[in-house]
């Protein structure tokens, strides 16, 4: 992907210099790049292993984990809780 500088109305503007068949892909890469930050990508997969969605993290701390807390976040936390309580039940002596 290349950009070409052009002077328009006294301002420097950058335009994509790619074949027409590649414009959509090149713009997608530009948009993805714009969402990057010094602390890492703002685009990431949902932390729920069963989920196929990605999320754009707009939180100040860049620490969002699930694309939807009420769906994937809740299921993931419920699974962890169930695993902890099951592990605790197995370790409890009988009698």
Q: Say if residue 59 is exposed, middle or buried (CB neighbours under 10 Å; 0-12, 13-18, 19+).
A: exposed
> What is the structure's pLDDT at 1?
66
Phi and psi angles of residue 3, each rounded to the nearest 5 degrees, phi first: -120, 145
Q: Which residues of the chain have pLDDT under 50?
A: none
């Amino acid at each position: 992907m290349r950009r070409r500088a052009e002077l328009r109305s006294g301002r420097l503007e950058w335009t994509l210099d790619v074949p027409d068949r590649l414009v959509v892909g090149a713009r997608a890469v530009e948009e993805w790049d714009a969402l990057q930050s010094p602390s890492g990508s703002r685009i990431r997969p949902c932390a729920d292993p069963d989920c196929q969605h990605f999320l754009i993290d707009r939180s100040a701390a860049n620490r969002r984990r699930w694309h939807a807390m009420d769906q994937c976040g809740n299921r993931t936390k419920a699974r962890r809780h169930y695993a902890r309580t099951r592990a605790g039940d197995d370790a409890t002596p009988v009698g």
